[in-house]
Chain A
Amino acid sequence: MIFTCNTCGLNFPTAEDQRSHMKSDWHRYNLKRRVAQLPPIEEDLFNTKVASLTIDDENTIAVKPKGEKQLTKKDQRRKEKEAIQEKKRQILEVARQAMLAKMKEEGITEVTPEVTDKEVVEPTEETVEQVLPTEEASNSNEELTEEQEADKILQEKMKNKIEITPTTCLFSQPKYNKVFDTVDENIDHMFKNFGLYIPEKTYLVDKEGLIGYLGEKISFGFCIACNYQGRNAEAAREHMKQKRHMRIPYESEDEKLEISQFYDFSSTYADVPASPAAAGESDEDQWEDVSDEGEGAEDDEDDEDDLPPADQDAIYQNGLELVLPSGAVIGHRSMARYYRQNLAPERILSEGQGTVIAAETRHMLSVRDRQELATQKRVWSREKKRSDVNDRRAAKFINQQEHYRDQLLQ
């Protein structure tokens, strides 16, 4: 008699052996595989699999107690974000130092902001490229984290980047070679052929910058209107043509702020003097922009936090109130009940009245505390009630008098 296991394809000399096999994990695993219509595996293979898994388990067990609390999704996201920002900062720091070194070499002491802008952008890209390979080498064995992926994409983008000058048409294929003499001609061309409408043209002060910025965006493979990102500029152009995305979005606050640096609305604030915000914008804003492009649309939520309050000079925020440039104050809705109060105007005393009030020593009756009065009233009503109850109780026993008293004779 032969004892067999059909699942694992084995023969056993004794029933005992068969039974012990049936109880083993290996058999159970193969049973599950069989259910999943997979072939059984050898015992050796199973053992190695088990061994690798237990190592993993040990690792996780060893790690877990350190964390104490189980990480929530929110915390995880936050940590990831912090890590990304930390990395960004490091990159920026390296880049800045490189730039400073470069500047020192060239002996430039004073630079106009525009010049710095351009000079700033290029070194970053270089440094980013320099920095990234080393990092990648150090942890090549490990899984690629999200940020590294992003960096990798960025790197690829950098490779793919082609230069689109402000005088080049943003949407035409390079083969047509639509390059104009001036930016205005270019804008005119794009308006006529592709319907590119530039919002708030009267307040646009830096046309070249705006077109340059859009060109740069496209050159990295981004669509200017939506979150689409293609492999290269050609893909982005194709996408924009297909979707008719050849427009500058100018609806939401974020969209406006994205291109706000090329505008100057200070002439619309009658009272507030034009601020030098556009010129004096710190380097960091510029840096932010670069990194934003690198990470793309995932970072949209961050933008709200990172962006400086652009309307700081126009509207002054005072707690729950907004002070407009005109001097009017807008209060928050939650305070409506206080704004609706109809208080008597403050009395302005003349000197004589002030003197008499200052010399006054009478003690006046103060307005009674409302709460105190309510308590007092409650006490009074309780006393009244008690006496009423007492009267009623007394009335109950009116007939149980020892000696009869005629009511009429009372």
Chain B
Amino acid sequence: MELAVRQEDADVLLKQKNVLDETVLDKYRTAGQIVQTGLKYIISLINESYHLQKSDQPISVQELCILGDSFLINLLSKVYNNQIKEKGISYPTSIEVNELAYGFSPELDDEGQYFFTAGDVVTISLGVQIDGYTSQVSHTLVIYPPGIELNSEIKPEGPLLGSKADAICASHIATETLMGLLGLSLTPEKLPIALKNEGGISGRLLRNIVDSIAESFGCIVLPGSKIRRIRRFLAGQAEGIVAERDFKGVVWDESHQEERLLNKAPQSQELILSDSKSNIKPSGTNNSSAIPSDEFIVLPGEVYQIDIRISSLNDFNEVGLITLEEIDHFTGKNNKQEFNSKSTIHIRDFAINHQLKLRTSRKLLSEIDNQFSVYPFKLSYTSKHFPIDLSKDLTEQFNDIKQDLKTFKLGLSELNNRHLIKSRPIQLTKFVPLEQILISANPTGKHGIDMNKPVLPGMEIPLPQLGVSSLKLKSLLNKHGKSVTNVRESITVVINNVNNGEIIRLTGGSKSSSPSWVHSQYQLKGAYVEAINQIGQLLQDKRFGIKVKEIYPYKLNQDKSVETSMQLD
């Protein structure tokens, strides 16, 4: 690698700057507040457009994305203007509907227009960073049939039922429980008795609890879900590109589903090709600290991102597993009559340096390096008409941005060809029957890694025990894959040990995004039921329970502008 940072500098950047103190907490809080407000703003836009039908034409996903980003940028421009050098969007506003799992944030010039219909589950994800301290949120809400507003709350006619409702329930309970568990690392004496002998809040415990919640709702935790520690400038924005040193977190992928399925059928041991996961060689790195492992203990003073995606298996009668499929813009167009879109979120890979030929691409690269730093960006951010002025006519500004997008398109493709930037693929959730995996011929074994698939080091092979490579799994998806709806809840929490110890919920929660009205026919069951219930009670108990501080959003006015007065919880 050409670039290197001196050890002393690296220590400062990776360790000292991540020690919590008042200034750091303040940056986290401000970022959280902006994210909360942004989430509230987008939810209100969706409500007005779909639930109350205030406008004649419903608002499209493209418009929601650009409006959300503009709103965040406008809010960011009011804080920390002279003290810090880097602030901005850490996660472009993406809105995924039903089976779309990741990275869907269409530009204004996208070919299709995307709208919601009643019964859809819509995941809104966004995030901002202030001086590298990042807050991110994902929230899934349900689109109901148009209803009425009562006391500034949407009152749907009835709850959502079915498999989508199960997934929403599971994800909500999982997120809340995980937040409580992380908070218990501050006060281990309050741990439920069932969890006392686990030896602290370990990665294994976190995984088991989430798995048990999902299972009791007939759901599965999707690949790409994670509970990970975030650090300054290292908030998982470049996962799959950068092999991050000292990765700490629980990550789910297909191998965990495989393990679960094989455990269910202990008599079919002859299927297993290789027992241990240890002989898998991660292709990206040889540094063991970059490979996720469950062997860690959550410590006070750390910041965690809880990012749980859940899909229900209740619609399928057969045994199978759920994986993510990348939309290939080119082949997708030719072979399938399915949903198709170009990936729009890009991130700069700083380890790669190349002297570019085109002037436009050089200009674009310098702009990316200076403006977006290490966080993902969309091409529309480079437009000079961005951010959109929300108080003026929107259609005209949309057209201006569309014009500007054309100028940088060529440069972008060169940057992509030279691997200076990596585009984040749009991913879909797909169900594959296990039968199809077992009966398909797999002569090459697990050799062959799909480089387009962003995975963490050590997770290149999706089914290591069955010896199925990612390329093989991808080919199976073409024929046997079935789309399945996914639900995502993601929050950022700070385990604050500065004063008297509390957990700061930077994003999510009832103040910005109350859960949609759903009804599931399942109930919590399994080994951890009591513990989960106790944690729920501890979270409710203001006096003796887990202290949780939620970050409140700014107040939204009627015309969608924000009251300028700072209102900290």
Contacts and interface: CB of A to CB of B under 8 A. Distances in A.
Interface of A: 344, 347, 349-364
A346 B97 CA distance: 45
B1 A347 contact: no
Contact of B355 (A344, A353, A355, A359): A344
A363 B9 CA distance: 20
B1 A362 contact: yes
B150 interface: no
Contacts of B355: 344
Given A349-B3, A354-B9, A360 B243 contact: yes
B284 A362 contact: yes
Contacts of A347: 3, 353
Contacts of B86: 350-352
Nearest to A364: B1
B232 A355 contact: yes
A180 B10 CA distance: 78
A358 B285 contact: no
A358 B373 contact: no
Given A351-B85, A351-B86, A361-B290, 12 more contacts: A351-B132, A352-B375, A353-B369, A355-B13, A355-B17, A359-B245, A360-B1, A360-B245, A360-B351, A361-B287, A362-B243, A364-B352
B10 A358 contact: yes
Contacts of A356: 233-234, 238, 242, 350, 374
Given A350-B85, A351-B233, A352-B233, A359 B14 contact: yes
Contacts of B439: none
Contacts of A349: 3, 5, 350
Nearest to B132: A352
A357 B5 contact: yes
Among B1, B2, B238, B245, chain A packs the most CB atoms within 10 A around the CB of: B1
Interface string B351-381: 1110100000000000001000111000000
A338 B387 CA distance: 47
Nearest to A367: B2
Interface in B198-256: 231-234, 238, 242-246
A363 B186 CA distance: 37
Contact of B233 (A355, A361, A363, A364): A355
A154 B10 CA distance: 72
Contacts of A359: 14, 231, 234, 242, 244-246
Interface in B41-67: none
Contacts of A360: 1, 242-245, 350-351
A362 B285 contact: yes
A351 B285 contact: no
B567 interface: no
B377 to A, nearest CB: 13
Contacts of B290: 361
A355 B238 CA distance: 12
B274 interface: no
A356 B230 CA distance: 12
Contacts of B540: none
Contacts of A361: 243-245, 285-287, 289-290, 457
26 contacts: A349-B3, A349-B5, A350-B86, A351-B13, A353-B373, A353-B374, A355-B17, A355-B132, A355-B232, A356-B350, A356-B374, A357-B350, A358-B245, A359-B231, A359-B245, A360-B1, A360-B244, A360-B245, A361-B243, A361-B285, A361-B286, A361-B287, A362-B1, A362-B242, A362-B351, A364-B2
A30 to B, nearest CB: 93
Interface string B239-283: 000111110000000000000000000000000000000000000
B4 interface: yes
B351 A355 contact: no
Contacts of B85: 350-351
Contacts of A363: 1, 284-286
Contact of B13 (A344, A354, A362, A364): A354
A313 B242 CA distance: 52
A202 B493 CA distance: 76
Contacts of A350: 85-86, 373
B351 A358 contact: no
A350 B1 CA distance: 18
A358 B289 contact: no
A362 B456 CA distance: 11
Nearest to A353: B350
A279 to B, nearest CB: 46
B285 A354 contact: no
A363 to B, nearest CB: 6
Nearest to A348: B369
Interface string B1-42: 111110001100110010000000000000000000000000
Contacts of B457: 361
A285 to B, nearest CB: 47
Nearest to B6: A358
Nearest to B18: A355
A354 B234 CA distance: 11
A364 B4 CA distance: 12
A350 B369 CA distance: 9
B207 to A, nearest CB: 24
A358 B13 contact: yes
B244 A358 contact: no
B283 to A, nearest CB: 10
Contacts of A354: 5, 9, 13
A359 B457 CA distance: 14
10 cross-chain pairs, A with B, having the tightest CB-CB distances, nearest first:
A361-B287, A358-B10, A355-B233, A352-B373, A358-B5, A352-B233, A355-B13, A352-B374, A361-B290, A364-B1
A354 B3 CA distance: 9
Q: B9, B232, B246: which has the most chain A beta carbons within 10 Å?
A: B9
A344 B14 CA distance: 28
Contacts of B5: 349, 354, 357-358
Contact of B14 (A352, A358, A362, A364): A358
Contacts of B234: 355-356, 359
